[in-house]
Each structure stands twice: as C-alpha cells, then as structure tokens.
Amino acid sequence: MGRPSTTIRVVAPHSSDTGVARTLSIIVPTYNEKPNLEALISRIAAALTAVNWEVIVVDDDSPDGTSDLALALHAREPRIRLIRRIGRRGLSSACLEGMLSSSAPYLAVMDADLQHDPTLLDRMLDILATGSTDLVVASRHVADGSIGEWAESRAIASRAATWVARTITNVELTDPMSGFFAVRREVIDRLAPKLSAIGFKVMLDIVLTAGPSLRVRELPLQFAPRANGESKLSSRAAWDYAMMLADRMFGHVVPVRLFSFACVGAIGLVIHLTVLAALLGLFHLAFVPAQIAATVVAMTGNYATNNLLTYPDRRKRGWAWAGGLACFSMVCGIGAVANVLIASAALSFGMPWEIAAVAGIMVGLIWNYGTTARYTWLASG
C-alpha cells in the first residue's frame, strides 16, 4: 500500500493555459463510465450557470473509451479537462491528483455514475465562500437525505462501514462514507502530503488527517440509482477501506503495506491448517506429503492475495505472475528456515516457547516482506 509511483499523462490544457481562472474545479474519477459522462457534464453545466467552473476527469485508463469521450467533450467545451492515468487504479489517489492539478480556490469531488445531484454544487460553493466552513459533505443520513433504492445487502455494508469509521476514529459525521463533497483548496494544499491516498474514501481520509480543527457542514443528498454500468464496490474496495483506517490509526508506526502483508499471512496460516486437517482426516495422507501439499496451497494463496491486495500497483500478470510465484516461494522458503532457526535459538537461551515462537514468526515476517518487496514486486509485471 502506501503511495505508489505514478505514471500520468495529462491531456487537455490546464485552465490557466486558456487565460481563464476558474472558481470551482469538479473532480470526477472514472473507470468505465463512458455511458454516463456526457449526461453528467450536461447536468453540471445546467446546475452552475452563474459559476465559472471546470470538470477534471481523472480516468484510470478505462478500456471502454471513457478518456476518448472526455477528449471529444473537451473539443466542444474547454472547461472539461482530462488526466489519464496509466498503469494504476485507485479512487482516492485519482481524486487527490485531480485536486492538485487545479488552481481553483474551491474543489468538489463527485462520482460519474449520476447518483450524485449536481444541483448541490451551487449551495456547497456558497457555504464555502462565506469563509466559515472548510468542507461541505453531501450526506445520505441527515434529515431529507436518502440512500435511494439500494439492495439490503449494500445498505447493511454501508451502515457497517459507517459504524466502524465513527467508532474507531470518532468522526463526527452522519455519512463519513460519502463520496460527494466540496472543500477549500488551501485545506488540500495543507493536508496532501499527509493523506494516505488509499482506497476509495478520500473524504474520510481528509477528515481524519485534518483532525477536529476542520470546520465541516453537511447537506442532505437524495442518492439516485446508478444509470449505467456496474458498481465499483468489491471485496478489494472493502480491503482498501480497512487498510486506509489502519493507516490512519498506526501507519506512522507500522507501514500499512506490511500490515496488509501480515494479515494475508495470517489468512494463509488458517488455509494451511485447514488443508492439512482435511488431507489428514478425510484423505488419510501421511503427514509429510500432506504438509507439503498444504504448504504449496497456502503459499500460492498468499502470493495471489498479496498480488491482488497488498501490491495492486505492482501487480504481476501473465507469465510474470508465474515468475513472481517462483520468486515468492523461494524467498518465503528461506524465511521459513530463518523462522525455525531463530525460534530454536531463542528456546535454547531459556526463553518460554511462546516468546521463542513469536520471535521466529516476526523474523520470518520481516524477511519475507522486505525481500518480496525488493525482488518479487519490485516493478509491475
């Protein structure tokens, strides 16, 4: 995790290149949102007739041609700009890069899926312009707000994520999971170096980083159904959300990528023991072949999961995936030997077996994390 290196191609001129200073920059992160983008721009234009606005589309190299459409829209409307990111994805980092590319004094972030109401932008801007508020959040959970026609499973997941955010972080917001907000530019300039840019909830990241001094106001949002395309929520998004909270709580002590690597290792241990028990109890294999099989399954699972969740910015694909697995297995094999040697040495010095075991595990973990980061996931595959 952490903030990975970025390959960015900026297309369409900055507002200052056209000689026009914008008042409001609206950041729209996109991935496969071509069917919705033109309608969104039309709604924004209709809602902000008295505002000098621009829309900055930050596209994660969508295969559906979203960036091509943004370029075509720019040819007709210079207030539409495009940042096309190559080789990486991530909503929070996309929003941050879009905000930092603007020179406008006020910034807004909204989704491209037509679920956020652009008519709120004018009210958000008026509130920020008074100077008494730093951040205006569109909330689905205040009076007159609504989550719309969500499936019950998504509503439960949203309530759970909101409860976790408010319980762990003491955030005084009714909707800390909101993806629609407006903020003063100087707030982002001050906080940008400290933001985790992990996952998909950049607003919560801003609030947690700023602390209680941030002046926040909420407006009711009637959440609309998605018009086209599919929701970006997934198990990967849930993992990124958990890692973002972990980064805010103790990222200054333990790198969040190491924490992710350790969590995957713990899951791998459960998989190893489960497979071993099944091979011994159900298939009556001898211990040694069962242990070898369980080790191969767990190690392959750990590699695949880390490749997906811990190193999404350096993900191995195709033949590079197989090469990465071989490197990971070799490195972790050395780590396993180091684990045993350290634990045995600690035990021989009279340490309790529990402490000796933990010492071996920690040495193995640090070795595996450091060497796989250096050799297995050194660069994108």
Percent of the chain's residues with pLDDT above 70: 84
Q: Where are the domains of the chain?
A: 7-230, 256-376
Query: Could you report the per-residue pLDDT of 36-52, keeping only the tens digit for each?
Result: 999 999 999 999 999 99
DSSP 223-256: PPPP-SS-----HHHHHHHHHHHHHHHHTTTS-H
Distances (CA, A) of 160 to 68, 167, 299, 359, 365: 37, 10, 31, 35, 31
Quick check: 5 pLDDT over 60? no
**Neighbour tally for 208: CB within 10 Å:** 25
Angle, CA 133 vertex, CA 245 and CA 221 arms, to 5°: 70
Residue-level pLDDT at 292: 86
Query: Could you report the per-residue pLDDT of 236-279, keeping only the tens digit for each?
Result: 667 777 777 777 777 667 888 899 999 999 999 999 889 989 99
Using 50, 70 and 90 to split pLDDT, how confident is the model at 151?
low
How far, in Å, CA of 136 to CA of 281, rounded? Answer: 58
Using 50, 70 and 90 to split pLDDT, how confident is the model at 10?
very low
Residue-level pLDDT at 8: 40
- Which of 55-59, 163-167, 193-197, 326-330 bottoms out in mean pLDDT, i.e. has the lowest? 163-167
The dihedral over CA atoms of 335, 341, 344, 346, expressed in degrees to the nearest 10, equals -80
How far, in Å, CA of 336 to CA of 61, rounded? Answer: 40
Quick check: 172 pLDDT over 80? no
CATH classification code of 7-230? 3.90.550.10
Query: Please, are residues 55 and 26 in contact by the beta-carbon 8 Å criterion?
Result: yes
How far, in Å, CA of 77 to CA of 54, rounded? Answer: 10
pTM of the model: 0.73
Quick check: 73 pLDDT over 60? yes
Eight-state DSSP code of residue 350: T
DSSP 256-325: HHHHHHHHHHHHHHHHHHHHHHHHHHTS---HHHHHHHHHHHHHHHHHHHIIIII-GGG---THHHHHHH
Eight-state DSSP code of residue 146: B
Query: Please, are residues 82 and 37 in contact by the beta-carbon 8 Å criterion?
Result: no
Quick check: 53 pLDDT over 60? yes
Hey, which residues does 139 pair with through a beta bridge?
A: 220
